[in-house]
Structure 1
Amino acid sequence: MAMNSIKTILGEGQSIVDHFLVNGENYTCWKIRMKFFVQANNYDVWSTIVDGPYKPTKEEGEWDRNDKNMVQINAKAMHILLCALRDREYNRISNCENAKET
């Protein structure tokens, strides 16, 4: 049922991601949409974007499950943000190492 309503809004074959692409002119609108999109999918990802990433105190080979999960949250945040940028905007932030820097 929910999928049918999404298809009605977007049209068959359209991607929801297209509606979250920033084009350099719609930043204010994009920021609000992304905030709620990320929060709805995983609030920990949103916290990483706002507060910065978790930084394990151990070497990578010594990470436990929690360390790996926390590092993965930053990777998810980066993925969401990078996929929402067109090439021009992507090139501006491609050297950022965490979601907060982005």
Structure 2
Amino acid sequence: GSSNYAYWKTRMRYFIMLVDESAWEVVKEGWSRPEQTTNERNAAQANSKALYAIFSRIDMEQFKMISTCETTKEVWTILPNQHEKNSSVCQRNIDL
């Protein structure tokens, strides 16, 4: 119950302070995401739309390759590299 919470709270406080004193300040004082400019907001929205478009049109194997990507640039680097590598391997096998 509450005695376990007091124990946990004290240990967690000092653990967070050990990791980073400023991390503890954020816990105490709070934090808010910095304001974005209109251009930054628009770019983030465009990135989200493009990611959704790609994620909704790929199979599970492709999804596994890119599921942790947060930008379309990452996705657009991984997928072509993977497919072109497989394609060139297939082409070499055909040529043999």
Normalising by structure 1, we get a TM-score of: 0.38
Larger Rg belongs to: 2
Q: Which has the higher contact order (CA 8 A, sep 6+)?
A: 1
Higher helix share: 2
